[in-house]
Amino acid sequence: MNEIWTIGRILKWTENFFKEKGIESPRLDAEVLLGHVLKKERIYLYVHFDEPLQPQELADYREAIKQRIRRVPVAYIIGKREFMGLTFHVTEDTLVPRPDTEILVQAAIERLKKMSGAEEAHPVHFADIGTGTGAICLSVLHYLPQATADTVDISEAARKVAEENAEALDVKGRVTFYTGDLLAPLASQDGAASGKARYDAILSNPPYIPDADIEGLAPEVRCKEPRTALAGGADGLDFYRRLVADSPALLKDDGFLAVEVGIHQAQAVAKMAVESGSFVRTEIIKDYGGIERVVVAWKK
């Protein structure tokens, strides 16, 4: 049978196939992958349903479908993800930036903007711990054009991706990348001019999934995303304990620590911050689903 695979027909077929295989958003994924193969925006597909695919396009699309069925996240197949209106290169060495994390970025931008004053007369300096693709840090730098930042990730491979993203987003001159364990690489930088307590803010979306919950995650996350980006210890709070203990020494007196948290973790993290004696005031910010998603802890 010599049927012609048009854009419309192959999308319908793929949507059904993905549905059968239990893929969560079958139509969207079919469209995004086809757009990627054809190097077109999704909107192009809607107005070219009758256009036939070339043999090479068909072969490339089949390959993409095969990967998706193996539960490779769409972002890894196409090598990128939108976040805060910007495009981030992603690889299997980096967590795929999540929409939830935009809540942390927006909260940070709002507060840092106030601190930097009109027309950023007093540019801010902040750190992003566990930077992955650089999603948090590079977005804040994009939206605050005078700000500067340091980032840390334990993964050398993630650092390379974040550096590429910094270059592509044209903020490379304002960010320094460190590889190491949480705040250690920053604490050991005894910059004579800057002193230790040099950050207006320390931001982090650390691994926070309780060990026992990892098995219950979607296969895309559980099998394909780096475990070092997800596992937060027995109760998921290991990284918050360390950040709360170690960040005050690096924060300016009027600075803040802002972290993304998992479901049902916000109260515990806020309490931990206040009980440490280093933070006097906390804020909890909900995401669009009503889940407490971000904790901001102020030194004063």
Judged by the rule CB under 6 A, the positions of this chain that interact with ligand GLN are 98, 100, 205, 207-209, 217, 221, 230
For residues 55 and 64, give the distance between their C-alpha atoms in angstroms, rounded to a whole number: 14
Q: Which does 221 bind (CB under 5 to 8 A by kind): ligand SAM, ligand GLN, none?
A: ligand GLN
Report phi then psi at 202, rounded to 5: -120, 120
Do residues 138 and 171 make contact, with C-beta atoms less than 8 angstroms apart?
A: yes
* Cα 105 to chain centroid, rounded: 10
CA-wise closest residue to 294 among 127, 116, 106, 112: 106
Of 73, 130, 248, 255, the residue at the interface with ligand SAM (CB under 6 A) is 130
CB of residue 180 to ligand SAM, shortest distance in Å = 7
Indicate the residue among 134 and 207 with the shorter CB distance to ligand GLN.
Answer: 207
Give residue 225's identity as a one-letter amino acid code.
E
Site for ligand SAM in 74-103 (CB under 6 A): 95, 97, 101
For residue 162, the tally of other CB atoms under 10 A from its CB is: 26
CA-wise closest residue to 135 among 189, 184, 187, 171: 171
Q: Does 6 bind ligand SAM (CB under 6 A)?
A: no
For residues 146 and 174, give the distance between their C-alpha atoms in angstroms, rounded to a whole number: 8
Indicate the residue among 208 and 256 with the shorter CB distance to ligand GLN.
Answer: 208
Indicate the residue among 31 and 225 with the shorter CB distance to ligand GLN.
Answer: 225
Of 26, 80, 89, 132, the residue at the interface with ligand SAM (CB under 6 A) is 132
For residue 295, the tally of other CB atoms under 10 A from its CB is: 28
Site for ligand SAM in 149-208 (CB under 6 A): 152-155, 158, 181-182, 205-207
Q: Which does 127 bind (CB under 5 to 8 A by kind): ligand SAM, ligand GLN, none?
A: none
Indicate the residue among 228 and 276 with the shorter CB distance to ligand SAM.
Answer: 228
CB of residue 98 to ligand SAM, shortest distance in Å = 7
Indicate the residue among 50 and 92 with the shorter CB distance to ligand SAM.
Answer: 92
For residues 94 and 77, give the distance between their C-alpha atoms in angstroms, rounded to a whole number: 13
CA angle 272, 246, 97 (to 5 degrees): 80
Indicate the residue among 228 and 276 with the shorter CB distance to ligand GLN.
Answer: 228
- The residue at minimum Cβ distance from ligand GLN is 208
Matching residue, tokens 């927006």: 106
Q: Which does 73 bind (CB under 5 to 8 A by kind): ligand GLN, ligand SAM, none?
A: none
For residues 193 and 238, give the distance between their C-alpha atoms in angstroms, rounded to a whole number: 32
Q: Does 73 bind ligand SAM (CB under 6 A)?
A: no
CA-wise closest residue to 254 among 134, 144, 115: 115
CB of residue 90 to ligand GLN, shortest distance in Å = 14
Indicate the residue among 33 and 231 with the shorter CB distance to ligand SAM.
Answer: 231
For residue 117, the tally of other CB atoms under 10 A from its CB is: 11
Q: Does 229 bind ligand SAM (CB under 6 A)?
A: yes
Residue 277 neighbours by CB under 8 Å, 6+ apart: none
Contact residues: ligand SAM, CB under 6 A: 95, 97, 101, 130-133, 135-136, 152-155, 158, 181-182, 205-207, 228-229
